[in-house]
C-alpha cells in the first residue's frame, strides 16, 4: 500500500468542533417516551491495559451521557471489561459480545481496544448484524486482505465476516501506517539506523513490529536483533538487551502493550543500554511510564489517531470532559477517538430511527447507517468509512516523554492515506 503523509496544518484545517452531541443537550428528540437504547463498550478496564481501557471507556460514557436521548429514546451506556488474569483476553471479549447481542436494547458497541480481541468478537457480531466501532484496533488484517493475513493471524477479513456484509469499523490508522511511521521517525528525525526489535508475539504486537522492521530495512537501516517473546512467562529481557548492546543498537523498538509488559524492558535497560526506547500506541500511557520506573525518559511513541488537543474547535468538548472526569489518569491516548466513535454511532442511530419512521431501528439498519457515515466532524478528525470499514483519512501522531513529572508530550501528527 502506498502511503501519503500530510502536514498537521492540513489536518487541523479539516477539523471542526463536534456537534452539540459531545457537550450536552437532550439529543434533538425531546423526551424519552419511546423507550431505551443502550450503547455498549468493551475495553480492558482492569489489569495491565487499564491505563488505555479506562480512559477510552470514559470517552464513550461521556458521549452517551452528554447526549442523553435521541429522537424520543433514552440513551444509556453499559461497559464490559475484557480482562482475565490481568491481561486482555479474546475469549472474554467473545463472551462479552454474546452478552451484548442477547440484550435487544443494545444497538451497537464501541471497542475493543486490542486487535486479537477484535478478531474473536467480529464473527460473532457479524452473524447478528451487530455493529462495532473501534477507536484503537490497528491490525491491518482486521479489514484489509493481504497475502500474509492467514499465516500471521489465522484468519482473513472475509472469514471474520461470515454473513458477507461488513459490521466492523474503526477510526484508527492501521499498522501498515503505524509501524512505518515509527521507522520513518527513527531514521529521518532521530537519525537512528541500528535498532533492536522485540514483540509480544500477539496479533497487534508482532504485526506492528514486523511493519517497523520492513520499513526500517527499506530506509537502509538494520535490525540488529529481532525476537518475539511469550510475555506471560517472560520477565527478564536482559539477555536480549545485552545482545542488542553488543550488536551496536542505537534504539529499541517494542511491539506490545502495557498489558504485555511493553515498558518493563525499558526499566531493565538501565546500566545496559542507554538509547531511546520506541513503542506503538499500546505503550503511550501512564502504565508504561510507571513500568519504566526511573528510566522513563527518552521514550517515543506513536498513536494511530489525531490528538484532540491540537484541534482548537475541540476545546469546549475537552473542557466539558475534564469537568466530568477530573483526574489526570481519566484521559488517555484514545479517550477522544473513543468519544468520536460513540458519537458516530449515536449519529447513525438517529439516522436509522428516521429511516424507520421514528421507530426503534433494527441492528441491521444501524449497521447500514454507520457504513454510510460521511464527513462526520469529531474532536480528532472528519470521518468517512471506506468499504472495508477503515477511515478514508487516518492520522498518525507521535509523542515523547518529557517534563517533571514525566508525561507523554505531543511532538507532531500527520495524515496518512493509501
What DSSP line would sit under 71-101, residue for residue?
A: TTEEEEEEEEE-EETTEE-HHHHHHHHHHHH
Take residue 17 and report the three cell numbers written for it: 468542533
> Nearest Cα to 314, choosing from 227, 382, 372, 239?
382
Do both 25 and 168 map to the same domain?
yes
pTM: 0.91
3-state SS of 294-335 is HHCCCEEEEECCCCHHHCHHHHHHHHHHHHHCCCHHHCCCCH
**Region class of 14: left (phi > 0), else alpha (psi between -120 and 50), else beta:** alpha
pLDDT at 30: 56
- Whether the CB-CB separation of 398 and 301 falls below 8 Å is answered with yes
Q: Do residue 258 and residue 348 come from a single domain? A: no
Residues in a beta bridge with 43: 81
Query: Quick check: is 406 in a domain?
Result: no
Mean pLDDT, the chain, integer: 93
Report residue 242: phi and psi, to 5°. -65, -40
Let me know if residue 410 belongs to a domain: no
Residue 261: give the domain boundaries.
175-303
- Do 226 and 344 share a structural domain? no
Residue 347 sits in a domain whose CATH number is 3.40.50.2300
Residues of the chain scoring pLDDT < 70:
1-30, 418
Residue 229 shares a structural domain with residue 125: no
Q: Dihedral of CA 375/138/254/237: which sign? A: positive
Is 388 found in the same domain as 262? Answer: no
Percent of the chain topping pLDDT 70: 93
Spatial distance between the Cα atoms of 344 and 225, rounded to a whole number of angstroms: 42
238 part of a folded domain: yes
pLDDT tens-digit map of 60-109 = 999 999 999 999 999 999 999 999 999 999 999 999 999 999 999 999 99
Structurally, the chain folds into a number of domains equal to: 2
Cα–Cα distance, 312 to 241 (Å, whole number): 42
pLDDT digits (tens, 9 = 90+) for 258-304: 999 999 999 999 999 999 999 999 999 999 999 999 999 999 999 99
Would 59 be classed as within a structural domain?
A: yes
Three-state secondary-structure class, residue 222: strand
362: number of CA atoms within 13 Å, CB side? 5
Q: Do 371 and 272 share a domain, yes or no?
A: no
CB 299 within 8 A of CB 403: no
Domain boundary among 303, 320, 349: 303
Amino acid at each position: 500500500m502506498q502511503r501519503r503523509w500530510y502536514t498537521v496544518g492540513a489536518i487541523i484545517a479539516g477539523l471542526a468542533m463536534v456537534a452539540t452531541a459531545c457537550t450536552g443537550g437532550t439529543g434533538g428528540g425531546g423526551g424519552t417516551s419511546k423507550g431505551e437504547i443502550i450503547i455498549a463498550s468493551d475495553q480492558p478496564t482492569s489489569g495491565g491495559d487499564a491505563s488505555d481501557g479506562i480512559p477510552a471507556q470514559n470517552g464513550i460514557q461521556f458521549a452517551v451521557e452528554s447526549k442523553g436521548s435521541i429522537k424520543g429514546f433514552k440513551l444509556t451506556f453499559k461497559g464490559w471489561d475484557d480482562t482475565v488474569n490481568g491481561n486482555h483476553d479474546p475469549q472474554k471479549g467473545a463472551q462479552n459480545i454474546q452478552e451484548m447481542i442477547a440484550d435487544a436494547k443494545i444497538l451497537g458497541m464501541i471497542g475493543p481496544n486490542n486487535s486479537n480481541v477484535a478478531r474473536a468478537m467480529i464473527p460473532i457480531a457479524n452473524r447478528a448484524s451487530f455493529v462495532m466501532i473501534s477507536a484503537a484496533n490497528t491490525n491491518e488484517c482486521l479489514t484489509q486482505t493481504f497475502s500474509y493475513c492467514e499465516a500471521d493471524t489465522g484468519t482473513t477479513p472475509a472469514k471474520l465476516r461470515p454473513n458477507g456484509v461488513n459490521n466492523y469499523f474503526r477510526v484508527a490508522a492501521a499498522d501498515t501506517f503505524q509501524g512505518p511511521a515509527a521507522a520513518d521517525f527513527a531514521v529521518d528525525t532521530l537519525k537512528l539506523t541500528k535498532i533492536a526489535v522485540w514483540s509480544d508475539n500477539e496479533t497487534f504486537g508482532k504485526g506492528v513490529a514486523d511493519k517497523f522492521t520492513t520499513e526500517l530495512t527499506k530506509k537502509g537501516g538494520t535490525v540488529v536483533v529481532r525476537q518475539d517473546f511469550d510475555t506471560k512467562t517472560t520477565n527478564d529481557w536482559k539477555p536480549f538487551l545485552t545482545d542488542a548492546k553488543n550488536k551496536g543498537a542505537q534504539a529499541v523498538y517494542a511491539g506490545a502493550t502495557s498489558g504485555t509488559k511493553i515498558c518493563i524492558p525499558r526499566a531493565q535497560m538501565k546500566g545496559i543500554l542507554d538509547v531511546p526506547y520506541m513503542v506503538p500506541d499500546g505503550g503511550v500511557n501512564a502504565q508504561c511510564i510507571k513500568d519504566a520506573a526511573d528510566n522513563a525518559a527518552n521514550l517515543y511513541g506513536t498513536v494511530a489517531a489525531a490528538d484532540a488537543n491540537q484541534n482548537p474547535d475541540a476545546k469546549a468538548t475537552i473542557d466539558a470532559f475534564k469537568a466530568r472526569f477530573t483526574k489526570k489518569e481519566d484521559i488517555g491516548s484514545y479517550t477522544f477517538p473513543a468519544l468520536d466513535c460513540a458519537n458516530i454511532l449515536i449519529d447513525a442511530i438517529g439516522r436509522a430511527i428516521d429511516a424507520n419512521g421514528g421507530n426503534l431501528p433494527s441492528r441491521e439498519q444501524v449497521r447500514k447507517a454507520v457504513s454510510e457515515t460521511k464527513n462526520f466532524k469529531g474532536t480528532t478528525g472528519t470521518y468517512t468509512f471506506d468499504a472495508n470499514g477503515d477511515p478514508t483519512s487516518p492520522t498518525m501522531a507521535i509523542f515523547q516523554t518529557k517534563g517533571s513529572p514525566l508525561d507523554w508530550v505531543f511532538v507532531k501528527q500527520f495524515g496518512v492515506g493509501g
